[in-house]
C-alpha cells in the first residue's frame, strides 16, 4: 500500500470523533496528498484519560535507532499481517496509542492514481 492519504476533517469533526476537551478551535487545513515526512494532525492519549490533537512529522523512528535519521529506512508502511512481528514496528504497535485521522488512502497505479475510501 502506498504511503499517501487525504486529511480533510474539520476541528469540530475531530473534536466530536475523539472526544477532545473543549478549547480554542484549531484551524485545520485540508490536505489531499499527504506524503511521508509531511506534518499531520494526530490524536494521542494525554493526561487524565483524555485525548489531545498534536502536529507530528509522519513516520516512525524506533526508540532503538542510533544512526543518523538520513540512514533510517522507510518506516511508514507497515503491513497488517506482520506489524506485530517486524522489529521496526513491533514495539510501537504493542505500546503506543497513536491514531491518524485520515479520510482516504491513495494507491497509485501505473499512470492512474486511485483513491480508496
pLDDT above 70 for 100 = no
Q: Where in 1-117 does DSSP place strands (E)?
A: 4-7, 31-34, 39-45, 51-57, 99-100, 104-109, 112-116
Count of domains observed in the chain: 1
Q: How confident is the model at residue 98 (pLDDT cuts 50, 70, 90)?
A: very low
Q: Which three cell numbers stand for residue 64?
A: 532503538
Which structural domain, as residue segments, surrounds residue 82? 4-116
* pLDDT for the residue numbered 97: 47
pTM of structure: 0.57
Tell me the per-residue pLDDT of 25-78, one tens digit each, with 9 for 90 and over. 888 888 888 887 888 888 888 888 888 888 887 777 888 889 998 888 777 667
**Mean pLDDT for all residues in the chain:** 76
* pLDDT for the residue numbered 1: 44
Amino acid at each position: 500500500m502506498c504511503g499517501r492519504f487525504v486529511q480533510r476533517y474539520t476541528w469540530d469533526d475531530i473534536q466530536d470523533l475523539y472526544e477532545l476537551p473543549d478549547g480554542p478551535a484549531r484551524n485545520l487545513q485540508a490536505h489531499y496528498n499527504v506524503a511521508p515526512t509531511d506534518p499531520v494532525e494526530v490524536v494521542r492519549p494525554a493526561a487524565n484519560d483524555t485525548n489531545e490533537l498534536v502536529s507530528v512529522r509522519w513516520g516512525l523512528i524506533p526508540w532503538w535507532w542510533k544512526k543518523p535519521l538520513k540512514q533510517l529506512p522507510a518506516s511508514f508502511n507497515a503491513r497488517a499481517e506482520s506489524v506485530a512481528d517486524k522489529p521496526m514496528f513491533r514495539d510501537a504497535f504493542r505500546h503506543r496509542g497513536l491514531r491518524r485521522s485520515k479520510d482516504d488512502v491513495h494507491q497509485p497505479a501505473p499512470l492512474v492514481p486511485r483513491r480508496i475510501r
